[in-house]
Each structure stands twice: as C-alpha cells, then as structure tokens.
Amino acid sequence: MNQRLSLDGLEVLDAIARRGSFAAAAESLHRVPSAVTYAMRKLETDLDVRLFRKEGRRAVLTAAGETLLREGRTLLAAADQLAETTRQVQRGWESQLTIAVDALVEFDVVVDALEAFYQLDTGTDLHITEEVLSGAWEAVLDDRADIVVGVPAYQTVAAELETRPFQTFDWVFAVAPNHPLASPSKPLSKEDIRPYRAVVAQDSARTRTPLTIRVLSSQPTLSVKDMTQKIAAQCRGLGVGYLPLHRIQQQLADGLLVTPPVEESPAQSTGLIGWKKGQQGRALQWFVEHFGGHYLAR
C-alpha cells in the first residue's frame, strides 16, 4: 500500500495551525516559507483535499483540515512516544514495569521506593498491583508482574524465580476490645478460638490452588479482599485472626484492637522479593537492590 501521509506533513500542518500563518510556522520550524508551502501543497495533493482557506493574511483550516489536524496530533504524539520508548530500550530502561505488592506490605514502603526511583528520570512507566499469598507468585510466573514484593515464604519457590529477603513479619492474635476473646483468664487454646469467626484475606491466585493459613478446621470464616479489609473487619469485632504487628501499630495505640495471649504464637515469617531468572532490565534491577536494601536496613 502506498503511504500518502507523512509525519513531516502533519508536523507542518500542526505548526501552521498553532502559529496562524505559513510564515510564522516556517519560523518556528526553522525552515524557509517556500518549504512550508510546498509541504502543504504536497499534502493536499496526496490526500486530494483542501486543508486551508485564506482569510485576509491568515490561513484558516477547512473542516477536512480540522479533522486531519485532530487525528494527526494523535499520530504525532504516538510517534514521539515510540521514539522515546526505543531510546529507553537502547539505554536499558524498560518502557514499563509492573510491581506486585503483597498485602502484608505497608504502602508507605512502596511510595518511598517510587519517590526515589522517579528521581532517576528514566521515563519508565510504573504499574502497582496488590496480591495476596500465592497470587503474588502467580502474578510473576504468569507475566502479569515483573517483580513481587513482600510475599511470605509459605510455599516452595518455583525454580524459574530468583528471590531475596525483603522484611521479617511478626504476627499477633488480635481482636476488638469488646470481643468475647478480648480478656481471657488464661492463654487461648485452639479449642477456645475455634468457635469464633476467622477473618481471612483471600488468596488472589487466579489459576493456581489458593492458600489459606492460620484458620482452624471447622472454624467459621469471613473472607475479605486484602489485609486492609481484614484489619478493618477485626477492629469492628466481625471476627478474629492473626495480623502482622507492623500493620496494626496505630490500631493498638488507639485501642481499636487488643492482643490476648495465646498458647501457640506463630513464628516470625520472612517476606521475599521475587522475579524471573534472566531478567536484566535496569528498572527491575534497581527495585531488586532497593527492596533488598530495605530488608538489610531493618
């Protein structure tokens, strides 16, 4: 197919529309006026349309010219973006990066990383998603995310993934202060807890077997989307469950949650960062180093 529409012609058309005359457009494009006139005559001939009409000394767009200008500016913007993406690839920076953040991670930690990354002015578009439990691993394995941050190591990590420690998590059994289990006379056993509804943050896995942790057999449950909803539900007395201590410091200080003693306290868990082996993008490697440094700083 013979291509009759050139980006150069669209650029000249845009300059004439913005500056109001052929002469002013030529000045802004650092061309002689005859070159601008030729470009527009060629564009009109190629498309077999009239793009301008004269009104005194001004060049005014026709209806066809207005349509070409509007759609042409979209093409010019897309061409600029394509050129920038190509330059980013040459420099080693990805055009975009998706980061899956486990629901255990405080978002302030992610915001700190984003703020530091944007100081580099790489041009990389960042996308942040939230996942729960094995859904975080699945996001990387299924290429919905490039890196996962903070996923707890409850499962064997797939062989095709690289991992690094990110943060350790302390867990406490927490209930609302008016809950029947709030003030026990002795440490709570599993049998004491079993009759009461557990609030569960649902595993976000789409195709793999979802994981459920710290829920007793035959215990009634309330399933919610993420850790934020789980904390809110437990603050309202809708159920009980184990929560990461770092996520509920304010609720404990405000008296919205209490931590009654239990016979079996869960062990500390380690959150990991993970990404596919062989990925060498500079943005990915920057976040690997940054989040790895977060763990070392704790």
Per the model's pLDDT, the better-predicted residue between 153 and 145 turns out to be: 145
- Confidence (pLDDT) at 133: 81
- Confidence (pLDDT) at 293: 67
**Mean pLDDT across the chain:** 87
**In this model, does residue 212 exceed pLDDT 50?**
yes
Is the Cα torsion angle 140, 146, 150, 156 positive or negative in sign?
A: positive
- Label residue 223 by pLDDT band (50, 70, 90): very high
Does the pTM surpass 0.85? The reply is no
- Confidence (pLDDT) at 295: 52
What are the tokens at 76? 């010019």
- Label residue 298 by pLDDT band (50, 70, 90): very low
Query: Could you give all domains of the chain from N- to C-terminal order, each with its CATH number?
Result: 7-91 (1.10.10.10), 96-168+270-296 (3.40.190.10), 171-267 (3.40.190.290)
Residues 39-72 have pLDDT tens digits of: 888 888 888 889 888 777 777 888 998 999 888 8
- Label residue 85 by pLDDT band (50, 70, 90): low
